[in-house]
Amino acid sequence: MKSSKNTLETAASDSTWNSFWFGHWESETLLATASLAMVRIGLAVVAFWYFASHWSDVAFWFAGDGIVSAQALGVFLTDADLGDAVGWRLSPLYWVDSPMLLRAFLLVGMLLAVAMPLVRSTRAVTTMLWLSVVWLANRSIMIGGLEEVTLAWGLGYLVIAPVRTPISDPPSGTAAWTTTLARRLIQVHLSIVFLVTGLAMLSSLAWWDGTGVMAVVSPVESRYFDFTETLRSPRVHEWLTHGIVLGAIALPPLLWIQSTRTVGFCFAVIWCIGLAILSSQGMHFLALAVLSLSFLPEKFAARLFSRTDP
């Protein structure tokens, strides 16, 4: 009896695990398909922005006489004995030093970004866009930031999911479980990012004593806007600081608990856009806001897609 009870428990646990990661009920896959469609459009916009932002200075950095040309970088990494640390940052762009070819690569990246939400018959476009972002990110040693990381994992998970159209047509078979898996991976990865952001904040006194947001806006020479005067009042910047920290830590549970998902989703979008404006890390936080769409509440999805789908 004990053995059969254990078997039942294992089966139930398997079932919970499988339904979470690979669930293929119609309502679940429809919601996953709808939210991934939104994420796909949003990440396409961010990826286009990413490639376009390199247009004016790609030759300055990567061309034969560029600041971090392949040759100059190679010598530096050898001298610094950093070859092992960055040796796995693979990219064909290390072999490209012509400004024209570098711009051609950016152009292809932008075209792929435009094509990704439009081409609905193959994963090839998403895969190529993902690889293009990863290659440019891997080439950007010393000048790359967080936006590359966020774009790379977001697009990487989208590759797993099939492209569905129309959205009201529920996927079946392999398409069903890969759609759920892609959405779950985005959701869990995003939760890790929010949580670690909150924990990282707590390791700095600025986020405890209420001046964290002032520290974010104070290097005004590298910000979109100068908010130092607007936030100078302690009442304003202290409340904002506490809200930002609370947001980072509270977002994962708010997003995962079904009853608070709508509040969590709205809060996540506001939190990301707010930090994008304050910190000028627009691309990174916009990408996070887009990835938050993987938690799109059911009622929002129903409202959006009942109007657009035939």
Structure tokens at 77: 């990494």
DSSP 165-177: SSTTS---THHHH
Q: Quick one: 89 or 123, whose CB is closer to another protein?
A: 89
As a residue count, the chain comes to 310
Alpha carbon of 76 to those of 35, 69, 229: distances in Å? Answer: 44, 10, 42
Least distance from another protein to the Cβ atom of residue 207, Å: 6
Please spell the DSSP secondary structure of 71-124, one letter per residue. Answer: HHHHHHHHHTT-HHHHTT---GGGG---HHHHHHHHHHHHHHHHHTTT--S-SH
The residue (of 13 and 122) whose beta carbon lies closer to another protein is 13
What is the closest distance, in whole angstroms, from the C-beta atom of residue 221 to another protein in the complex? 4
Residue 186 beta carbon to another protein: minimum distance, rounded to whole angstroms:
12
Taking the complex as a whole, how short is the minimal distance between the CB of residue 166 and another protein, in angstroms? Answer: 27
Instruction: Provide, rounded to whole angstroms, the least separation between the CB of residue 167 and another protein.
Output: 24
Which C-beta is closer to another protein: that of 224 or that of 299? 224
Judged by beta carbon, residue 228 or residue 260, the one nearer another protein is 228
Q: Are 42 and 283 contacting, i.e. CB atoms less than 8 angstroms apart?
A: no
Per the CB < 8 A criterion, the answer to whether 69 and 173 are in contact is no
Amino acid at 216: V
Nearer CB in complex with another protein: 45/304: 45
SS3 3: helix
**Dihedral of CA 170/175/179/180: which sign?**
positive
Q: Please say which residue, 153 or 300, places its beta carbon nearer to another protein.
A: 153
Nearest distance from C-beta of residue 115 to another protein, angstroms: 22
CB 59 within 8 A of CB 102: yes
